[in-house]
DNA sequence: TCTGGGGTCCTAGGACCC
DNA sequence: TCTGGGGTCCTAGGACCC
């Protein structure tokens, strides 16, 4: 069984911890530069304030409403959600943080010794503890699959009768819940897919779950949708990803106002690059590509528009701030054109892989010995020693090539396969680069 | 006048290799 | 002159999530 613990209107709830007088009143939290609404209290939702709505429109449309408005304060939200997470860690057998405000919990058979009903009590108790010690309300859904758990948490949020925890543990409850759940609300079914499904007469999650497997495959030929269909039917198939490291890291901002000169842009981009490098080091990885993008204000159709994106391959995968900033600066220089009014820029790190001593050892070793193909055995020994393996996989190729070039290929393949099996996120190009 | 900031996965098609 | 079959990697684009 899976549980999902979800902070209600997370950012608003965080602000209310220090402003209890705002309970029961409409509250919104804004994005960077106070641009858009990113969080709404239930009262604000009832006023018709949409997620992502530009703040100036809100002010125009509801001039007479008293709405508490906050600029976002990510340090505060990070701090409070960390406290929520700490309580989950104490109470749950195993967990995985899915986002800043959501956390999956895994239950094994031991935790179910007094039946699934025990899980309902567990959830209610967890709610009370978090509410009391952190001050943030959460909703908890528990079910045999993650998608059904998300469904359950929706009902926990919607109906006070569930006392913040909804359990889907029987076929009857599953059917009942899915019939009341519209297709567009299902986890994994977004705007596009729900529009297509509705056009085909599929209005609820139940309608979708009832379709045959062949219908799903013939209609979408899409593995993600197929998985969602399976999950709604109680088959657990969304993988658990507790140890996931980021495969790309991005820092970007819209400017407050517009920027025309490259020096100001360079300052911004250098800051974003430095921030990216920080995130990279925090997760203990290195990047091999730095990319920069640049936009004019896309909302200002009266002004000339320009956008561009440039990748800069690093000579060697690194987590060094100075190298990453330099590369980003170069990329920016390549795409900057004088005369435009720029509104947004960002830095993306790609080709991210583990910062393992294996890579460095291979690099050093190759530099010295790679030309001497007679040393193949020694090289293999070395790889085995470093990796703690008995043998290395040589791929499908045989030692049939006569000349040194052939052996070099075999060797390169051996390294590639070995690397790949140990470091699934490493890209072929990174490995070739090491050679 | 004012319009956010992160991520993930999958697929198709082209370039290239043997 | 005839022109197969198997495979990898990369990119762009499209969908989704919070």
Question: What digits encode the pLDDT tens for the residues A365-418?
Answer: 343 334 443 445 555 555 555 555 443 433 322 222 222 333 344 444 455 455
Q: Which of A169, A148, A160 is nearest to A124 (CA)?
A: A160
> Closest nucleotide to A30's CA, by C1' atom?
B4
Is residue A236 domain-shared with residue A258, that is, in the same domain? Answer: no
pLDDT of residue A86 exceeding 90, the answer is yes
Which pLDDT value is given to residue A357? 39
- Which of the 367-406 residues on chain A come under 7 Å of nucleic strand B at their beta carbon? none
Does a structural domain hold residue A52?
A: yes
- C1’ B10 / CA A303, Å: 36
CA dihedral A265, A267, A269, A271 (to 10 degrees): -150
**CATH number, position A195:** 1.10.150.20
Is residue A259 domain-shared with residue A316, that is, in the same domain? Answer: yes
Is residue A216 domain-shared with residue A327, that is, in the same domain? Answer: no
Does a structural domain hold residue A200?
A: yes
Is residue A315 domain-shared with residue A251, that is, in the same domain? Answer: yes
Is residue A387 domain-shared with residue A251, that is, in the same domain? Answer: yes
Is residue A258 domain-shared with residue A390, that is, in the same domain? Answer: yes
Does a structural domain hold residue A431?
A: no
Does a structural domain hold residue A416?
A: no
Is residue A237 domain-shared with residue A250, that is, in the same domain? Answer: no
- Which bases of chain B are contacted by protein, using any atom under 7 A from a CB? 1-12
Is residue A281 domain-shared with residue A359, that is, in the same domain? Answer: yes
**Distance (Å, whole) CA A77 – CA A156:** 23
- C1’ B17 / CA A409, Å: 12
> Closest nucleotide to A184's CA, by C1' atom?
C16
Domain boundary (A199, A224, A241) is at A241
Does a structural domain hold residue A433?
A: no
Does a structural domain hold residue A124?
A: no
Does a structural domain hold residue A209?
A: yes
Does a structural domain hold residue A423?
A: no
- Which bases of chain C are contacted by protein, using any atom under 7 A from a CB? 8-11, 14-18
Q: What is the mean pLDDT of residues A156-181?
A: 96
Which pLDDT value is given to residue A240? 79
Whether the CB of A222 is less than 7 Å away from nucleic strand C comes out as no
- C1’ B11 / CA A352, Å: 22
Q: Which range marks the domain in which residue A217 is found?
A: 183-241
Is residue A205 domain-shared with residue A340, that is, in the same domain? Answer: no
Residue with tokens 């583990």: A354
Question: What digits encode the pLDDT tens for the residues A236-295?
Answer: 988 877 556 888 999 999 999 999 999 999 999 999 999 999 999 999 888 888 999 999
Whether the CB of A315 is less than 7 Å away from nucleic strand B comes out as no
Domain boundary (A195, A219, A241) is at A241
Whether the CB of A274 is less than 7 Å away from nucleic strand B comes out as no
- C1’ C1 / CA A399, Å: 35
Is residue A215 domain-shared with residue A336, that is, in the same domain? Answer: no
Q: What is the mean pLDDT of residues A128-144?
A: 97
- C1’ C1 / CA A152, Å: 69
Whether the CB of A188 is less than 7 Å away from nucleic strand C comes out as yes
> Closest nucleotide to A256's CA, by C1' atom?
B2
**CATH number, position A60:** 3.40.1170.60
Alpha carbons within 13 angstroms on the beta-carbon side of residue A105 total 25
Exposed/middle/buried for residue A379 (C-beta within 10 Å: 0-12, 13-18, 19+): buried
Is residue A376 domain-shared with residue A393, that is, in the same domain? Answer: yes
> Closest nucleotide to A222's CA, by C1' atom?
B10
Which pLDDT value is given to residue A172? 97
pTM for the structure as a whole: 0.80
- C1’ C2 / CA A401, Å: 29
Domain boundary (A241, A268, A285) is at A241
Question: What digits encode the pLDDT tens for the residues A100-135?
Answer: 999 999 998 655 556 667 899 999 999 999 999 999
Q: Which of A38-47, A85-94, A191-200, A301-310 has the lowest mean pLDDT?
A: A301-310
What's the total number of domains in chain A? 3
- C1’ C10 / CA A367, Å: 27
Whether the CB of A98 is less than 7 Å away from nucleic strand C comes out as yes
């Amino acid at each position: 069984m899976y549980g999902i613990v979800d902070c209600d209107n997370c950012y608003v709830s965080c602000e209310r911890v220090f402003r209890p007088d705002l309970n029961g009143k409409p509250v919104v939290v804004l994005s960077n530069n106070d641009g858009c609404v990113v969080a709404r209290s239930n009262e604000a939702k009832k006023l018709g304030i949409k997620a992502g709505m530009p703040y100036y429109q809100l002010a125009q449309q509801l001039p007479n409403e008293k709405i508490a408005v906050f600029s976002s304060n990510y340090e505060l939200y990070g701090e409070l959600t960390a406290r929520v997470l700490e309580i989950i860690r104490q109470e749950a057998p195993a967990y995985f943080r899915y986002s800043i405000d959501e956390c999956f919990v895994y239950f094994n058979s031991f935790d179910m010794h007094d039946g699934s009903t025990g899980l309902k009590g567990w959830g209610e108790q967890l709610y009370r503890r978090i509410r009391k010690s952190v001050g943030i309300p959460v909703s908890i859904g528990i079910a045999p699959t993650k998608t059904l758990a998300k469904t359950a948490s929706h009902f926990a949020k919607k109906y006070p009768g569930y006392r913040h925890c909804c359990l889907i543990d029987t076929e009857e409850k599953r059917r009942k819940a899915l019939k009341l759940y519209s297709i567009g609300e299902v986890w994994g079914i977004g705007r596009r897919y729900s529009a297509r499904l509705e056009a085909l007469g599929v209005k609820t999650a139940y309608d979708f779950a009832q379709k045959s497997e062949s219908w799903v495959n013939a209609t979408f030929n899409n593995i993600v949708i197929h998985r969602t269909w399976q999950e709604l039917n109680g088959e657990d198939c969304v993988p658990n990803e507790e140890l996931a490291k980021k495969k790309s890291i991005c820092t970007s901002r819209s400017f407050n106002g517009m920027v025309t000169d490259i020096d100001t842009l360079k300052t911004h981009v250098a800051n974003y690059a430095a921030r990216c490098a920080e995130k990279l080091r925090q997760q203990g990885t290195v990047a091999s590509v730095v990319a920069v993008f640049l936009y004019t204000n896309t909302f200002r159709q009266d002004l000339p528009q320009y956008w561009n994106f440039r990748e800069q391959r690093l000579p060697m995968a690194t987590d060094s701030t100075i190298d990453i900033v330099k590369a980003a600066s170069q990329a920016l220089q390549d795409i900057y054109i004088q005369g435009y009014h720029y509104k947004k820029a960002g830095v993306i790190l790609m080709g991210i892989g583990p910062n393992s001593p294996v890579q460095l050892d291979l690099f050093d070793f190759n530099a010295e010995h790679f030309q001497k193909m007679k040393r193949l055995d020694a090289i293999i020994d070395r790889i085995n020693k470093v990796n703690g393996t008995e043998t290395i996989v040589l791929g499908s190729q045989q030692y049939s090539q006569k000349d040194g070039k052939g052996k070099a290929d075999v060797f390169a393949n051996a390294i590639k396969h070995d690397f790949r099996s140990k470091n699934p996120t490493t890209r072929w190009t990174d490995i070739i680069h090491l050679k």
